[in-house]
Amino acid sequence: MKTFMEKKETVNRKWYVIDAENLPLGRVATKAANILRGKHKVTFTPHIDCGDYVIIVNADKVKLTGNKIEQKMYYNHSGYTGGLRERNAKTMIEKYPVEMVERAVKGMLPHNRLGRATAKKLFVYSGAEHKHSAQKPETITID
């Protein structure tokens, strides 16, 4: 029996919506990363971008467990001397909820060309509305 290998021309892509309201950030990110990567499909091929599109809504209402809201830090560096910027999770969730969720999902994807291409299929919105209703996305519940 031969092993099945998906071709990038034959990939069928679907659209999924994840409502992140009152859900832990890590649970939402892992579910989104698995769908983006295509690991939920029978035809998963590691070296092909065979994943689906993911829309995450209510990013501003995502929950962090434990003391992460005060202790978890996010770092950026401009490349210049003294250009390190630090923000804690409380600041991120108040001012930049979309970036916080995107960082969590992108950190769970491969750190190469395939991961960058896969991350382009992720759409995060801080409110409950999204502009992809024409694609007829399916809603996914996370338990």
What is the rounded average pLDDT of the residues 110-114?
97
Res 143 pLDDT > 90: no
Residue 72, in any domain of the structure: no
Residue 69, in any domain of the structure: no
Residue 2, in any domain of the structure: no
Do strands 73-77 and 84-88 pair parallel, antiparallel, or not at all (unpaired)? antiparallel
Q: What is the pTM of this model?
A: 0.94
Residue 73, in any domain of the structure: no
- Report the domain count for the chain: 1
% of the chain exceeding 90 in pLDDT: 96
Close Cβ partners of 97 (under 8 Å, ≥ 6 residues apart):
59, 60, 62, 126
- Residue in the structure block whose two tokens are 């994840």: 18
Res 139 pLDDT > 90: yes
Paired tokens of 13: 């892509």
Across all residues in the chain, what is the average pLDDT? 96
Residue 1, in any domain of the structure: no
What is the rounded average pLDDT of the residues 108-136?
97
HEC readout, 45-66: CCCCCCCCEEEEECHHHCECCC
Residue 76, in any domain of the structure: no
| pLDDT, position 125 | 98
CATH number for the domain harbouring residue 14: 3.90.1180.10
What is the rounded average pLDDT of the residues 96-112?
98
Res 4 pLDDT > 90: no
Residue 74, in any domain of the structure: no
Residue 89, in any domain of the structure: no
Q: What is the pLDDT of residues 26-62, one digit of tens each?
A: 999 999 999 999 999 999 999 999 999 999 999 999 9
Host domain of residue 57: 8-64+95-140
